Amino acid sequence: MREVAVLGVGQSKFGKMPDISVAELGRDAALAAVEDAGINVKEIQVAYGSRLFDLMCTSQDILKEIGVTNIEMVNVENACSGGSTAVRGVWKEIASGHYDIGIAIGAESMTTSPIAGRLIPPGKDDLNGQLGLTMPGVFGMLARRQMEENGATKEDFAQVSVKNHHHGCLNPFAQYKKEFTIEAVLNSRMICDPITLLECCPNSDGAAAVILCSMDVARKYTRNPVRILSSSLLSGDYSYRQDDITLSPLGVKTAQMAYEMAGCGPEDIDVVELHDAFAPEEILRYEDLGLCKKGEGIAFLRSGASALGGKVPVNPSGGLLALGHPLSASGVRVVVEITQQLRGRAGQHQVDGAKVGLAHMLGGMVTGLEAGACCIHILAK
């Protein structure tokens, strides 16, 4: 397997933009990535695109707008981890030597999707969903278990939202740039006890793109390429094998695979972007990724370790909570963010001295399984 580098990154602003099509959002992100890479669009040899709603032939519909046609294009759907899956697809194409340069795109317009303004509806054969086990319901139960077993408080969950919204104020791409107090978060509308409105990520529109290439190609354009040290993707196991709902065997195993491939451990990670669809979830992911021991996520948060200036800043972009969550775009966006952090180009939310970063995305609920998929990329400069 060849070394793979990130040559260019780009993203649209995230927000509610019903007058802008998914193809336009994707075009803007793709053009930004091409410009950042400093290449001609004709050099792109393969493309992977991801979306959950709206477009057919995602890559084709987007890339025709920038003059890219007549190449291999693959389109994937993997819930929230779809964008990460697209990045992994291009990574495999280049690492295996099939191509030298490719692009991964994730794009979504939630405000014009068939579920605009509503929860994602369960499938007819999704027994759990039909009985009311929606995403807020799942994470509400997890939060209650955290409170019972690990000493978490409602104020701890609110602090995650306060932290990420503060980070979002520093990010020009964020949907929401507003500071909140713990009291404001706790007093926002109750969604699923104990989760309040300001502890839920917003539905958003947006797109992100990354251009990957072989190391030989990268060295023609830059002396300091950002390398992808590892890429891991797993689907969830049967839920009856999950002994403790506050620990994700899927997340733990995916992280272990990523660390082993990268030749590093959680102690080497300087910055993390992860799936924080609901504030209590972020605390669980600290433990899945090995940033702290099982049961110590609350202490990790309270110590300030996950805030900018802390030991391992988590979601310095603002995360899904403040930046927004265009489902299929988010998995690409976390790779964009980690790349910019390692380049030292993250602006006001830059993590000083970041050399190794982790991009995490979890996606999907399937009756009988712990979760749909988890994808992790570890990058280094």
Residues designated catalytic: 80, 325
Rg of the chain over CA atoms, in angstroms?
19
How far is 270 from 280, CA to CA, in rounded Å?
22
How far is 71 from 67, CA to CA, in rounded Å?
11
Contacts of 282 by beta carbon, 8 Å cutoff, 6+ apart? 160, 164, 274, 276, 306, 314, 315, 319
Q: Is the peptide bond before 280 cis (omega within 30 degrees of 0)?
A: no
Alpha carbon of 6 to those of 215, 371, 372: distances in Å? Answer: 9, 29, 27
Phi first, then psi, for residue 207 (nearest 5°) are: -150, 155
Exposed, middle or buried by CB within 10 Å (0-12, 13-18, 19+), for 263? exposed
CB distance 64 to 12 below 8 Å: no
Closest CA to 12 of 83, 74, 68: 83
| Per-residue DSSP letter, 120 | P
How far is 153 from 145, CA to CA, in rounded Å?
11
How far is 119 from 105, CA to CA, in rounded Å?
24
